[in-house]
Structure 1
């Protein structure tokens, strides 16, 4: 069967956005020089940052949640942190967890470069499943999951404990370049992510949507 050709509406015959439309939406908002440098650094570390479309959506989610307390699982070089700060309240505090201190040093530099005061971020170097249980129940407005894919189910469980009622859960890499949507894909990380996002879908205390932005972003609101 031949691949569907893009139509004049910007969608393929099957209804999916054309590559041109996808690129337009992903790059719709400009990226700051600081974020671009952090993105390049993160890619150099092998800590692949959120896509530009995902970053802009995280800013919107933080603003909608009126976020003052945010947890980020997976600091990278600070791309997602910069996006979250852009939507958080001026007194908001980001708690970001990563096993690599080198990544967090890069993130710290990026945050300071845009004038974010040191007291507004806590960068904790350590394993997320060791750090998360030490954080307070119901004390956070938004939790971003973007760490070890094999631990996504445990991250989500911890995130639901940490979130206040009305708080927002965001799970990045929810599609894993199409592997999650393929039921025949038995890669360990694809299975782990699939099980985690399906658990969110089936949780009656959550209202969620799976968005095809970046590498997939699952968004849920806690009742």
Structure 2
């Protein structure tokens, strides 16, 4: 008979196994190192692998990323997109986008496949075209997730997918005793999408939680 301790150990081992199931190459590892040096977020490998699968399954030719960082998430997305797909990626920090462009060059990504836009996502997203995108990845500032998610739903075509990175917020979201501001905001985003009739949602434990929602 399996004990609760054995079951918990099995779940932990299973999570670790899934995170390393699709290994990162040297280009991704260097981009991740730059993220650590600059102190910006990079989607964990398990999250990246799911993003690549989503981009590939959608044959996503038009993708938006909120929070370029050093290009880790961008590379995973681009590797799942068709060769003619274009990634529009937004970040307020020019230094982050310079590091991302370096990663794109190292990966041999053609310049025309990426559109890096510096600026506050809250200012940039409203300028993008309604219903024109296959996939929108929301990362960066968790405090602004409610605003970013609403803009993302406007941008998605029917059948397009919203992905929210960090949806478990360091494992705090499932714990009802955790009521700090960031955890509360992220938790409420999940609840709102779960109740939103415009989408079909699911929450995956990959990385630090990946919240997915398909636009009806």
TM-score category (smaller protein): over 0.9
Are 2:107 and 1:114 equivalent residues in the alignment?
Answer: yes
**Matched residue SS, 1:190:** helix
TM-score normalised over the length of structure 2: 0.96
**Matched residue SS, 1:165:** strand
Structure 1 pair 21/170, CA: closer, same or farther in 2 (3 Å)? same
Partner of 1:83: 76
Q: Given that residues 41 and 140 in structure 2 are in contact (C-alpha distance below 8 angstroms), is that contact kept between their aligned partners in structure 1?
A: no
Partner of 1:177: 170
RMSD: 1.3
1:30-66 per-position Cα deviation (integer Å, ceiling 9, x unaligned) = 1010000001110111112111000000000001111
Partner of 2:124: 131
The one of 27, 40, 43 aligned to 1:47: 40
Structure 1 pair 108/21, CA: closer, same or farther in 2 (3 Å)? same
Q: How far has the Cα of 1:101 moved from its partner?
A: 0.5
How many residue pairs match? The answer is 214
Partner of 2:211: 218
TM-score normalised over the length of structure 1: 0.93
**How far apart in 1 are the matches of 2:147 and 2:135?**
17
**How far apart in 1 are the matches of 2:33 and 2:4?**
34
Partner of 2:154: 161
**How far apart in 1 are the matches of 2:74 and 2:37?**
18
Q: Given that residues 68 and 89 in structure 2 are in contact (C-alpha distance below 8 angstroms), is that contact kept between their aligned partners in structure 1?
A: yes
Are 2:95 and 1:64 equivalent residues in the alignment?
Answer: no
Q: Is there any run of 5+ residues in structure 1 with no aligned partner, and where?
A: none
> Greater shift after overlay, 78-87 or 193-202?
193-202
Are 2:185 and 1:186 equivalent residues in the alignment?
Answer: no
